[in-house]
Amino acid sequence: MDLGKEAEELVRRAEAAAGKAWAPYSGFRVGAAIRGASGAIHVGVNVENASYGLTMCAERVALGCAVSAGEREFTALAIAAAGGHDAAPCGACRQALAEFSPRLAVYYRDGGRMHARSLEELLPDAFHGGGTP
Ligand code: THU
- Mean pLDDT value of segment 98-119: 96
Which ligand 1 atom is the nearest neighbour of the CA of 57? 3
Residue 133 falls within a domain, yes or no? Answer: no
Between CA 90 and CA 87 the distance in angstroms is 9
CATH assignment of the domain containing 83? 3.40.140.10
Average pLDDT over the chain, rounded to whole? 96
Atom 1 in ligand 1: residue holding the nearest Cα: 57
Cβ-contact 18, 81 below 8 angstroms: yes
Distance CA(93)–CA(51), nearest Å, equals: 20
Tell me, in angstroms, the distance from the centre of ligand 1 to residue 109's CA. Answer: 14
Q: What is the pLDDT of residue 131?
A: 77
Q: Is the pLDDT of residue 1 over 80?
A: no
The whole-angstrom separation of Cα 133 and Cα 121 is 30
Distance 76 CA to ligand 1 centre (A): 19
Q: Is residue 54 part of a domain?
A: yes
Catalytic status, residue 59: yes
Q: How many domains does the chain have?
A: 1
Closest CA to 16 of 27, 24, 8: 8
Residue 94: which domain range?
5-122
Give per-residue pLDDT as tens, 12-27: 999 999 999 999 999 9
pLDDT tens figures, 26-65: 999 999 999 999 999 999 999 999 999 999 999 999 999 9
Do the domain assignments include residue 31? yes
Segment 83-108 shows an average pLDDT of 97
The pLDDT value given to residue 3: 87
63 lines ligand 1 (CB under 6 A): no
> Is residue 128 included in any domain, yes or no?
no
Q: Characterise 130 by phi-psi region: left (phi > 0), alpha (psi -120 to 50), beta (else).
A: alpha
Residue 34 lies in a domain: yes
Name the pTM for this structure. 0.96
Assigned domain for 129 exists? no
For residue 83, the Cα-to-chain-centroid distance in whole angstroms is 17
- Its sign, for the CA torsion 12, 75, 29, 90, is negative
- Return the pLDDT at 130: 84
* Domain assignment present for 50: yes
Tell me what the mean pLDDT of segment 108-114 comes to. Answer: 97
